[in-house]
Structure 1
Amino acid sequence: MASAAMPIVGVLGSCMGCMVFVENIAKQEPSAMNLMTFSTFLFISSIGLVFTSKFFTVKNQIPLEGYFKTVSMFFIVNVVNNQALNFHVPVPLHIIFRSGSLLATLILSVVIVGKSYSARKYISVFAITVGIVICTLATSSQGDSGLSMEEASKHYKEWSIGIAMLTFALLASAYLAICQQQMYEKYGKHPDEAMFITHFVSLPFFLVMGGDIVSASTKLSASAPYALIPGIPSLWVDLFASCILQYGCIKYVYQLNSRVDSLTVTLVVTLRKFLSLIVSIVYFKNPFTAQHWVGALLVFAGTLAFADIWGGQPAKKQEEKKKQ
């Protein structure tokens, strides 16, 4: 895990920093979510085009067909997760589903890849998932979080479709992590190339969101001027800063994915979501209740258990093994 230390620190640091700018945009202009996603994809693709692909003069180490499953699942997961909100799914429930990715990855790793894990791994994953759910519910209850469960029940048919979409996206997200790991095992580890190709090839799909992206751009341009740069709308500055930090976050995720198994990658990403929630509470001065402390205890205890911090057999002996 020594070689993975820097990517882990990079993921946690850059992603939590990015969250501050993303949340600031979301609070002032909630309709800018698709614009933020597109901007991140465009920024990462532009950096990759110049420094990784060198304007397509560098030959791919992984053939394009090798990216087919990864790119397809990557785009499907993002679209389905966003569209589920249009089916009257309460936002807290949406967040809870996305927080279950660690548990879903563990299950699919057993079912699809045929791996086995120690009892400690199962218990730690369950504790982390429950802890994030508790913190999410505690935070969402402090403010307006969309439709209530009672309101959602009035739209039972659409709500059921939304739940089905979230369930599918949860499993698809876990499968995506496995696809990325299998791609590296088959073609070798080329995280920078994979990062560029995955985002660049996905850009045309944003055409279906063109109207929404243009509308959000107009609203960002109408935001108040940035204090340090007169004449520049403040939300565009926040968007640019979020793109830079998101680039670092995703870059480190891809590096991590090339060095450790998919479950560990999902663990780090899940921990990042939790820490981002804590930063959000502190930075935006939201209350930190007893429920938050219970959730925090479960998350950090689960993380320590997963990493075998509390002794026992060496980590290598407890890592997942292929079934005979």
Structure 2
Amino acid sequence: MASVPLAIFLVFLGCGANVFFLEHLIKIDSSSGHLITCGQFFLISTKQLFQFDFRNGFKIPFSRHLLIVALFVSISVINNWAFSFAIPLTLHIVFRAGSLVTNCLLSRIIMNKQFSTYKYASVFTITAGIIICTLQTASSKPSSSFADDAPQLSFGLFVLSIALILSSLIGIVQEKTRDQFGKHPLECLFLHHFLSLPMFWFLIEPIKSSIAAYSSSATIDLFGHALPSAWLFFAGNLATQYICIRSIFVLTSECTSLTVTLVITLRKFFSLVISVIYFQTAWTSWNWIGTAFVFGGTLMYAEVFNEKKKEKTS
């Protein structure tokens, strides 16, 4: 368990720095999400290729892996597509934090799960927070700008909503897979990224366009060489993404789901704060209230506050 504090520190360091590099890249080319995701998947696949033990074969049916990969790629592509619309990264972070809402809904419909009143209250809180942030982001735009951006913003949020539904669906599939075949995280980490790589062939044109945009970006002098800034940000994004994923993997292996949920929730909030402060994103007091509703509702859903009460009474 000595590795847990280090893993928590690296989650905040890696994921926070990752958002820093991501926002720089999106500002250079708003459609470069496909190139970024392809690079991340290639790095993780290559790294795991030399660590995964193939001698024992696969523990989960290959067909199940393919189903998860199809959902996995779809979610990544849709989330990247959303960056092409008038959605600030801050709202993107808050909106994606609402995955618990769709997860609760689909679990109730597909798996007939029953939830406590406390869970439904937390889902209502998250939903209210997302609505507040969305409406405030739209109303904070100048009237002339809002008239131009409103259709894009609306469609972008529709796209993100589809991604949320698919994220919840893949969560249900993964839960059923674990129940049937057990936990095999290294196998899933490798196959889900490796099998996704051929899918990027269908996105080769936007990837080529992003490569051209990166190569023509403003240069930064590094050790006497003028290098395009975008490629340096890209390298930083890949490195920090790997640090973030590996650190979360350590937490999921050694900590309770409650601890993992708490760390990931706080990490998302930390990333949002970085975006607001460093990039001076317009984020009003109403946006902060909505943000508090979203992340507070997430902690409620994880029963963090109830857990504290249990610890006090035990």
Give the TM-score band, short-chain normalised: 0.7 to 0.9
Letter in 1 for 2:201: L
Of the three residues 87, 97, 101, the one matched with 1:91 is 87
Once the two structures are TM-superposed, the CA of residue 280 in structure 1 deviates from its matched residue by: 0.3
C-alpha distance 249-133 of structure 1, shift in aligned 2 (>3 A): farther
Cross-structure match for 1:169 = 163
Conserved? CA contact 1:304–1:310, under 8 Å: no
Conserved? CA contact 1:92–1:137, under 8 Å: no
Deviates more, 1:183-192 or 1:37-46: 183-192
Cross-structure match for 1:226 = 220
C-alpha distance 303-209 of structure 1, shift in aligned 2 (>3 A): closer
Q: 3-state DSSP class of the match of 2:196?
A: helix
Give, in whole Å, the separation in 1 of the partners of 2:279 and 2:163: 30
Does residue 243 of the first structure (1) align with residue 225 of the second (2)? no
Where do residues 174-213 of structure 1 align in structure 2 (5 Å cutoff)?
174-213=168-207
Once the two structures are TM-superposed, the CA of residue 185 in structure 1 deviates from its matched residue by: 2.3
**Gap runs ≥5 in structure 2:** none
Give, in whole Å, the separation in 1 of the partners of 2:210 and 2:65: 31
Letter in 1 for 2:214: L
What is the CA deviation profile of residues 120-178 of structure 1, one whole-angstrom value per residue up to 9, with x for unaligned ones? Answer: 2221233234324434554566669xx8467656x9xxx78x77755443322101112
C-alpha distance 50-260 of structure 1, shift in aligned 2 (>3 A): same
**How many residues get paired?**
302
Give, in whole Å, the separation in 2 of the partners of 1:219 and 1:163: 26
Letter in 1 for 2:108: V
Conserved? CA contact 1:81–1:166, under 8 Å: yes
Deviates more, 1:115-124 or 1:267-276: 267-276
Conserved? CA contact 2:44–2:242, under 8 Å: yes
Letter in 1 for 2:216: A
Once the two structures are TM-superposed, the CA of residue 82 in structure 1 deviates from its matched residue by: 4.5
Letter in 1 for 2:16: M
Normalised by the length of structure 2, the TM-score is 0.77
Give, in whole Å, the separation in 1 of the partners of 2:147 and 2:48: 43
Normalised by the length of structure 1, the TM-score is 0.75
Give, in whole Å, the separation in 2 of the partners of 1:296 and 1:169: 20
Give, in whole Å, the separation in 2 of the partners of 1:314 and 1:68: 41
Conserved? CA contact 1:102–1:266, under 8 Å: no
Give, in whole Å, the separation in 2 of the partners of 1:309 and 1:270: 14
Give, in whole Å, the separation in 2 of the partners of 1:181 and 1:12: 26
Cross-structure match for 2:281 = 286
Cross-structure match for 1:309 = 305
Letter in 1 for 2:41: F
Letter in 1 for 2:129: G
Give, in whole Å, the separation in 1 of the partners of 2:241 and 2:273: 18
Conserved? CA contact 2:45–2:190, under 8 Å: yes
Give, in whole Å, the separation in 1 of the partners of 2:128 and 2:266: 12
Give, in whole Å, the separation in 1 of the partners of 2:279 and 2:82: 27
Of the three residues 104, 107, 111, the one matched with 1:106 is 104
Deviates more, 1:171-180 or 1:298-307: 298-307
Of the three residues 121, 124, 136, the one matched with 2:122 is 124
What is the CA deviation profile of residues 222-277 of structure 1, one whole-angstrom value per residue up to 9, with x for unaligned ones? Answer: 2233344423322111111111221233344556667766x997786565444322
Q: Tell me how large the CA RMSD over aligned residues is.
A: 3.8
Conserved? CA contact 1:18–1:245, under 8 Å: yes
**Gap runs ≥5 in structure 1:** 316-324
Conserved? CA contact 2:31–2:81, under 8 Å: no
Q: 3-state DSSP class of the match of 1:30?
A: coil
Q: 3-state DSSP class of the match of 1:116?
A: coil
